[in-house]
């Protein structure tokens, strides 16, 4: 509670800040379970849609006032315990000169086709390549009274866009490159890991209090392929962030068989989708990492009694163990009623 008359939200680090997200990430007990939603900014909020009628995606990403405003919209409306920076996983790739449009998914003018394309992936210099991202983070760090989560795409998921040139259900070309040319593949993922580390380090130095690495498409790989072809790069990322002392969250979709390997990469928290109940996920992950998740986002389209029942099932599966961040198992679906999300936040908070 703020003292009467206090108008300004204190920045993270001062006494009135809500740190339940950070505590849960570190496995500490919390008085109130923290909750936020992947893709909570944008998507289903009418105030976001109104802005989008006037501005393109990159116009918002590159304008710190607009990007900060969109980041704060769900904090105000939904009462979530964390903000996630409004940006996209392809922003650092565009910033090093890869031609990418969002239509709405990423589409590349010239997908990577051979090892010669590696020359197009130069290192990221955050202060000169993504100054608008860092200015957005600085603005938010001064305004928010909840932690700001910085983020990046993981090397495998970024590589899939570079090679496919857009979205793909099978990632056939990506996997073919991985199997056919291991030297090219290893170099590609290593360069992407360096870009991710540079971007996330800069976000934290600008004021982000936690980071999430999205490996959305990695669930298409077998454990053997993940270990051989992806783990070296994700391991490099989490090692490269360790000294910053902020919680590192690692998330992928359809990763039931990969959970142990995601933990082996070295994050503090593993995001779990709705397919694996949290008690089973914990059985695979062991005691050293926290868990985040994992209500099926589609449940939020159902009547409230179903939402409450399924949210209770998530809470029951975790059985009150410390080290749980409540979230959906993947991003908010665009057709979700924001009022349902608000009610869900209050429900998880026990209000
Ligand atoms: O959902 C995930 O899997 C998270 C990882 C991810 C992001 N962007 C993070 C993100 C992925 C896989 C992308 C690629 C991407 N970029 C897609 C998916 C395409 C596909 O292949 O299925 C799309 C549609 C975009 C473009 C994009 N990015 C839009 C239209 C928006 C605005 C909000 C929305 O979702 O409509 C974004 C913002 C964005 N992308 C955020 C994040 C973490 C910030 C918003 C938030 O998290 O609340």
What are 39-80's pLDDT values in tens digits?
999 999 999 999 999 999 999 999 999 999 999 999 999 999
Inter-helix orientation angle 155-164/182-206, to 10°: 120
Quick one: pLDDT at residue 7? 38
In the chain, the percentage of residues whose pLDDT exceeds 90 is 94
The yes-or-no verdict on residue 332 having pLDDT over 60 is yes
Quick one: pLDDT at residue 126? 98
Q: What is the pLDDT of residues 234-244, one digit of tens each?
A: 999 999 999 99
Closest-CA residue, ligand 1 atom 15, reads: 105
CA–CA dist 281, 297 (Å, integer): 18
Residues 102-124, mean pLDDT to the nearest whole number: 97
In the chain, the percentage of residues whose pLDDT exceeds 70 is 95
Quick one: pLDDT at residue 238? 98
- Work out the end-to-end distance of the chain between its first and last CA atoms, rounded to an integer number of angstroms: 16
Give the torsion sign (CA, 37, 42, 46, 51). Answer: positive
Active-site annotation holds for 43: yes
Ligand 1 binding pocket includes 37 (Cβ within 6 Å): no
Q: What is the pLDDT of residues 175-209, one digit of tens each?
A: 999 999 999 999 999 999 999 999 999 999 999 99
- Domain over 20-349 is classified CATH 3.20.20.210: yes
Going by C-beta distance under 8 Å and a sequence separation of 6 or more, which residues neighbour residue 68? 86, 136, 139, 140, 143
Q: Distances in Å between the alpha carbon of 195 and those of 129, 218, 261? A: 11, 18, 22
Determine the atom of ligand 1 nearest the C-alpha atom of 37: 48
Q: What's the pLDDT band for 131 if we cut at 50, 70, 90?
A: very high
Nearest to 295 by CA among 35, 81, 75, 76: 35
Active-site annotation holds for 88: yes
Active-site residue, selected from the candidate residues 48, 132, 161, 226: 161
CB 44 within 8 A of CB 301: no
Q: What's the pLDDT band for 309 if we cut at 50, 70, 90?
A: very high
CA–CA dist 315, 238 (Å, integer): 28
Give distance in angstroms: CA of 58 to centre of ligand 1: 12
Quick one: pLDDT at residue 4? 40
CA–CA dist 169, 171 (Å, integer): 6
The yes-or-no verdict on residue 2 having pLDDT over 90 is no
Nearest to 207 by CA among 155, 272, 302, 142: 142
Active-site annotation holds for 284: no
Quick one: pLDDT at residue 8? 36
Quick one: pLDDT at residue 16? 58
Q: What does the longest C-alpha to C-alpha distance in the chain come to?
A: 65
The yes-or-no verdict on residue 262 having pLDDT over 50 is yes
Active-site annotation holds for 321: no
Average pLDDT, the chain: 95
CB 213 within 8 A of CB 292: no
Quick one: pLDDT at residue 14? 45
CB 321 within 8 A of CB 282: yes
CA–CA dist 133, 64 (Å, integer): 7
The yes-or-no verdict on residue 98 having pLDDT over 50 is yes
CA–CA dist 6, 4 (Å, integer): 6
Scored b (16 or more CB within 10 A) or e, 237-256 reads: bbebbeeeebbbbbbbbbbe
Quick one: pLDDT at residue 351? 80
Q: Would you give the DSSP letter of residue 298?
A: G
CB 214 within 8 A of CB 255: no
Give distance in angstroms: CA of 279 to centre of ligand 1: 28
Q: Is the pTM of this model over 0.75?
A: yes
Ligand 1 binding pocket includes 102 (Cβ within 6 Å): yes
């Amino acid at each position: 509670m703020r003292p009467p008359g206090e108008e300004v939200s204190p920045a993270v680090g001062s006494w009135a800040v809500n740190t339940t997200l950070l505590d849960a990430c570190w496995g500490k007990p919390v008085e109130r379970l923290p909750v936020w939603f992947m893709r909570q900014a944008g998507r289903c909020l009418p105030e976001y849609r109104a802005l989008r009628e006037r501005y393109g995606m990159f116009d918002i990403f590159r304008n710190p006032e607009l990007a900060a405003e969109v980041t704060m919209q769900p904090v105000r409306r939904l009462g979530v315990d964390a903000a996630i920076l409004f940006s996209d996983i392809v922003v650092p790739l565009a910033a090093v000169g890869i031609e990418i449009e969002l239509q709405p998914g990423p589409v590349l003018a010239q997908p990577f086709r051979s090892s010669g394309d590696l020359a197009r992936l130069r290192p990221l210099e955050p202060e000169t390549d993504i100054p608008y991202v860092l200015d957005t983070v600085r603005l938010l760090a001064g305004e928010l009274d909840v932690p700001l989560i910085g983020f990046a795409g993981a090397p495998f998921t970024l590589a899939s866009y570079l090679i496919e040139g857009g979205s793909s259900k099978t990632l056939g070309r990506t996997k073919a490159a991985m199997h056919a040319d291991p030297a090219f593949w290893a170099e590609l993922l290593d360069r992407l890991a360096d870009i991710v580390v540079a971007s996330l380090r800069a976000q934290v130095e600008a004021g982000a209090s936690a980071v999430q690495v999205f490996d959305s498409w990695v669930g298409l790989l077998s454990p053997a392929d993940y270990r051989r072809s992806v783990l070296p790069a994700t391991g490099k990322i989490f090692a490269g962030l360790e000294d910053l002392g902020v919680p590192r969250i690692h998330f992928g979709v359809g990763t039931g068989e990969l959970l142990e390997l995601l933990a082996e990469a070295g994050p503090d928290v593993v995001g779990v989708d709705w397919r694996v109940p949290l008690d089973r996920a914990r059985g695979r992950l062991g005691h050293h990492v926290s868990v985040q998740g994992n209500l099926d986002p589609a449940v939020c389209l159902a009547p409230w009694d179903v939402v409450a029942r399924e949210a209770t099932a998530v809470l029951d599966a975790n059985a009150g163990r410390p080290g749980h961040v409540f979230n959906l198992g993947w991003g908010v679906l665009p057709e979700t009623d924001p009022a349902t999300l608000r009610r869900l936040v209050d429900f998880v908070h026990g209000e």
